[in-house]
Amino acid sequence: MTTSSLLWIPVTLAAAAAQTGRNATQRRLTETIGTVGATQVRFLYGFPFALLALGLVRLVLGEPVPAPEGMFMPFVLGGATAQILATALMLAAMRERSFSVVTAYMKTEPVQVALFGVAILGDPLSPGVALGIGVATAGVVLMSLKPGARLGAAGLRPTVYGIASGAFFALAAIGFRGAILALPEGSFVMRSTATLAWALGTQTVLLLVWLGAFDRKALVASFRAWRPSLGAGFLGALASQFWFVGFSLTTAANVRTLALVEVLMAQAVSHRLLSQATTRREVLGMALILAGVGLLLLAQH
């Protein structure tokens, strides 16, 4: 196995670290500019950094920017829309539950990919895969239920938001990897960087139109909060750059599986930066989710 074939491992770890910082920054922004406004800043303020990265890659590598053709734009549009929905659902869940717990909900993403395969593609569900899904689901239920409490609407809502967020992030990963592979030419760095610029540009336009039509107050607030938003935009663009490079080197499943280390990173952020305690019950739930995802992946080899 060559060094280049292993490059996706450090790239993915760097993406997970940058994404943890971005998520924490966005979560703080929801308190001042709302969920939709905080969703928009990662794209609006990340887009200039993506263009800068594209210019630097073109300058350093001396390659032309590949022109979009074929299925590139449908993949970009699908991935961009799914990521917007995933981010909004993630931030909505984080307003009601611990940062690390919501991150763990989202990390049911590989499990949901398997379920999508059964429902949409008719992929077979082996006993090993079914066991993995069962263990991970048990972890989610354990984390969402408090001892002696009934699961009412208030407790169910953030759980549903978090799991749905993971589902849309899974669809986004598939869309973006499809777009990168659809580009006809260029190195993996150029194709991933060009795809990122198109994706963030598309997301910026979609959210500006939406906010301009339905929530101008949040749009104005996002412009006023430009200083913290710049940080979220930079971390978001940095994380996405690493994710996209990872998608260009290996399957989205490999990248998103290794990204489960983000659960541990998020727990550290909750304790040190957000002063949020993680209970033993939640720790056990996160362990079950990770174990379930591990069983799922082992069954697929």
Residue type, 49: F
Q: What is the pLDDT of residue 205?
A: 93
| 243-246 contacts at long range (C-beta below 8 A, 24 or more positions apart) | 243/12, 243/15, 243/19, 243/173, 243/176, 244/176, 244/180, 244/192, 244/193, 244/195, 244/196, 245/8, 245/11, 245/188, 245/189, 245/192, 246/8, 246/11, 246/12, 246/15
Q: What is the pLDDT of residue 78?
A: 93
Q: What is the pLDDT of residue 274?
A: 59
**Per-position pLDDT tens, the chain of length 301:** 444 567 888 898 899 888 877 777 777 777 777 777 777 888 889 999 999 999 999 999 999 999 998 889 999 999 999 988 888 888 788 777 666 667 667 777 777 766 765 665 455 667 876 787 788 777 776 776 656 545 455 567 777 888 888 889 888 888 898 899 899 889 999 999 999 999 999 999 998 998 888 888 888 888 888 888 888 889 889 999 999 999 888 877 778 777 777 766 666 666 666 566 667 887 888 788 778 777 766 775 5
Q: What is the pLDDT of residue 113?
A: 67
Q: What is the pLDDT of residue 199?
A: 96
State the pTM of this model.
0.78
Helix (H) or strand (E) holding 268, with range, is helix 261-272
Q: What is the pLDDT of residue 2?
A: 45
Q: What is the pLDDT of residue 300?
A: 57
Q: What is the pLDDT of residue 277?
A: 66
261-272 helix and 8-44 helix, angle to the nearest 10 degrees = 60
